[in-house]
Amino acid sequence: MSTSSRRDQLLTELRAWGGASPSVLEALATVPRERFVPPESQSRAYENIALSIDAGQTISQPRMVAEMTTACRLTPQSRVLEVGTGSGYQAAILARLCHDVVSIERIPELSHQAARRLRELGFTNVQCVVGDGSLGWPAGAPYDAILVTAGAPEIPWPLYEQLTPGGRLVVPVGAGTQSLLTITRTASGPQTETGIGCVFVPLVGQAGWPESSPPAPPKS
C-alpha cells in the first residue's frame, strides 16, 4: 500500500471516530508524518500508534494528536506554547492552525533535529527552544493555548499562569495511566475538564517529575 493510501486510511479512521475538528483533520492530512519518524518506522507512519524516536522519547499516535489539538480550540490568530518538541510533528500540526508556535524541549539534540526538520518542510512560524518545559517559556507569554506532550504528576501551575484569559492548558496528568486534562483560565479561576485516559513519557522538570527518579516511560 502506498504512503498516500495509508494516510487516507488513517484519515478515514479518524473521521469515523469523530473527535477531531475538520481543521485538525486537514492539518493531519497535509503534514507528512513519515518525515518525523526514524527510517525504520516510516512504513508504519500512518498507523494509529505511538512510535519511538531518539533519546527514549515517542511521537504520539495520530488520534491523540487530533484529540489534544482539537481541545486547544485554535484560531488563525492563536499563539501556542508546546511543551515537549520531540520529533516536531505536533508543532507542525499546530503551526498549520495558528499564528505562531513556541516549542520547548529539554533534550537539545531533539530540539535541534526538530528545528532543522521543520525548516526543511517550510514551517516559518515555529520557534524551537531548549529549556525546562514544565516552567513554560515566559519570554513568549502569554499564550492562547499550551499543549503538553508529556505526563505531569499534577497540573503544572507555572504553565497555567502563562495563559491569556480564556486560554486553555491541555496536559496529561497522573502516574502510569494519565488523564488528559483541559484547564481553562477564567476570571473566577481554573476550570478543569477531564478527558480520556492516556500514557505519555514523563514531564521532567521543576514543575514535573524529578530528573533523578521519573516514572518508567511507557513501552512502545
Render pLDDT for 111-147 as a digit per residue (tens, 0 to 9): 999 999 999 999 999 999 999 999 999 999 999 999 9
Within-domain flag for 25: no
What CATH number should be reported for the domain holding residue 128? 3.40.50.150
Number of domains into which the chain is organized: 1
Within-domain flag for 168: yes
Digit-coded pLDDT (tens) for 154-205: 999 999 999 999 999 999 999 889 999 999 999 999 999 999 999 999 999 9
Q: 155-193 burial by CB neighbour count: b if 16+ within 10 A, else e?
A: bbeebbebbeeebbbbbbbbeeebebbbbbbeeeeeeee
Within-domain flag for 191: yes
- Of the residues 4, 43, 60, 188, which is catalytic? 60
User: Is 188 among the catalytic positions?
Assistant: no
Within-domain flag for 95: yes
Within-domain flag for 209: no
Quickly state the pLDDT bin for 220 (edges 50, 70, 90).
very low
Domain interval for residue 188: 63-198
Within-domain flag for 13: no
pLDDT of 62: 97
